[in-house]
Amino acid sequence: MKRTHLAVLSLALATAMHPLLTLAQQPSVTPPTPTALAANSQTAFSVLRGRWVRPDGGYVISIKAVDAGGTLDTSYANPSPLPFYTAKATRDGDALKLFFELRAGGYNGSTYTLNYDAASDQLKGVYYQAVARQKFEVVFVRAK
């Protein structure tokens, strides 16, 4: 009789521990380090480098480099050179988003809010002309 109770108890204990044993056997997932995340972002951002032209007016954004934090080394011509006050790229999942702000040459507060479209290799989004308080849908194509 004692052996039967012992066998039932062993079986009950083994059944109760089964989920714990399964979890213990699974490989642990190590979260990516900040350095790995930065390298991943920098790799994703590298596709943004190049000269981008807005066909409807010849406006040009030249992206020379992007650091791991998304800060862009860039220039803008409309057609005369104008400095960007802010030039930043961010990741939202797989999406690459860009934000540019002008604060010079009569464009004070004007912005570009763009998304990189990998399928067409274009930057698409909205140009906000602050002085006129108007928004325009815009596209930049990569200059070859």
CA angle at 87 for the pair 124 and 44, rounded to the nearest 5°? 65
Q: What is the CATH code of the structural domain delimited by 34-142?
A: 2.40.128.30
* Contact assessment for residue 68 and residue 42, using Cβ atoms and an 8 Å cutoff: yes
Question: Domain spans of the chain?
Answer: 34-142
Q: Quick check: 125 and 114 in contact, CB under 8 A?
A: yes
Q: Dihedral (C-alpha) 62, 66, 70, 74: value to the nearest 10 degrees?
A: -30
Q: Greatest CA span in the chain, whole angstroms?
A: 96
3-class SS of residue 64: strand
What is the number of residues in the chain? 144
Q: What is the pLDDT of residues 30-44, one digit of tens each?
A: 444 343 334 455 578
pTM score above 0.75: no
Nearest Cα residue to 46 out of 144, 140, 125, 116:
116
> Which tens digits make up the pLDDT trace of 93-128?
989 999 999 998 889 999 999 999 999 999 999 999
> For 5-54, what is each residue's pLDDT tens digit?
444 444 444 444 444 444 444 444 444 434 333 445 557 899 999 999 99
Please answer whether residues 111 and 101 qualify as being in contact, where contact means their C-beta atoms are separated by less than 8 angstroms.
yes
